[in-house]
Amino acid sequence: KAGVTQTPRYLIKTRGQQVTLSCSPISGHRSVSWYQQTPGQGLQFLFEYFSETQRNKGNFPGRFSGRQFSNSRSEMNVSTLELGDSALYLCASSLGRSGGTDTQYFGPGTRLTVL
Amino acid sequence: KQEVTQIPAALSVPEGENLVLNCSFTDSAIYNLQWFRQDPGKGLTSLLLIQSSQREQTSGRLNASLDKSSGRSTLYIAASQPGDSATYLCAVKGGSNYKLTFGKGTLLTVNP
């Protein structure tokens, strides 16, 4: 079974631009979660999508948004980029069963650099 | 608010040594606890997942334990190898949503 894939792997943008990152989950997985990883803050939860609906959201400004398509693929968008948005963005997929018992499987990440 | 702490932040050991990594969490109302490995610049690889009803899980040279009441977990690595060098992250899942709350990680270096 193919793992979680993320595209692109690397991105360089300038302040004020916007960016879209893509995540394809493991086949059969319906839940996709996004995380931001920075040296100072570590890994922080952005949001989770399940069956095309945002099920959970972390404490990030509205510039960070996402969506999920009917095939469970997910995109994350960041508008009006700031220098502090430079980070590794990780996506994780799981079956999404209730009760929180699922294992989450992570993709390789997208490294975003904002200049 | 759940907080996860990992001690030590960094650890350097000679090859062949057995070692223990520690993880503590403040809210014992968790669904499960997961240990991950992260190589530099890469994503996370899931090592072990312990459900809240379990006490330990084993995979090869790795053994993870969970004491939910005291808010602690340990990852035991037997007979360490240079290929084990990586950052090890502990994460707990709990609360009203299913997000993972991560510790800052332990950077492990195994010297040949």
Over the stretch A13-47, which tens digit does the pLDDT of each residue have?
999 999 999 999 999 999 999 999 998 899 999 99
- Cα separation, B37 vs B46, in Å, equals 7
- Cα separation, B23 vs A6, in Å, equals 29
| Interface contact A43-B102, CB threshold 8 A | yes
Please tell me which of the candidates A35, A55, A108 has its beta carbon nearest to residue B42. A108
Read off the amino acid at residue B96: S
pLDDT at B14 over 80: yes
C-alpha dist (Å) from residue A115 to A12, A22, A57, A61, B88: 7, 21, 27, 20, 30
Tokens of residue A72, six digits: 């469970």
What is the pLDDT averaged over residues A3-22? 97
- Compute the radius of gyration of chain B from its Cα atoms: 13
Measured in angstroms, the CA of B50 and the nearest CA of chain A are apart by 9
Strand B30-38 and strand B86-94: pairing? antiparallel
Please tell me which of the candidates B32, B43, B51 has its beta carbon nearest to residue A107. B43
User: In this predicted structure, what is the pLDDT of residue A48?
Assistant: 92
User: In this predicted structure, what is the pLDDT of residue B97?
Assistant: 62
| Interface contact B100-A48, CB threshold 8 A | no
Q: Quick one: closest CA in B to A91, which residue?
A: B43
User: In this predicted structure, what is the pLDDT of residue A99?
Assistant: 65
Give the A:B interface size as CB pairs under 8 Å.
Answer: 61
- Which residues on B lie below 8 Å from A56 (Cβ)? 97-99
- Is A73:A24 a contact under the CB 8 Å cutoff? yes
| Interface contact A104-B101, CB threshold 8 A | no
- Cα separation, A107 vs B42, in Å, equals 9
| Interface contact A35-B46, CB threshold 8 A | no
CA angle, corner A67, sides to A33 and A53, nearest 5? 75
What is the pLDDT averaged over residues B2-17? 95
Q: Quick one: closest CA in B to A6, which residue?
A: B43
- Cα separation, A112 vs A19, in Å, equals 9
Evaluated on CA atoms B26, B32, B100, B92, the torsion sign reads positive
Q: Among all chains, which residue has been given the structure tokens 């509205």?
A: A62
Residue A33 DSSP SS3: strand
- Is B27:B38 a contact under the CB 8 Å cutoff? no
- Cα separation, A33 vs B44, in Å, equals 13
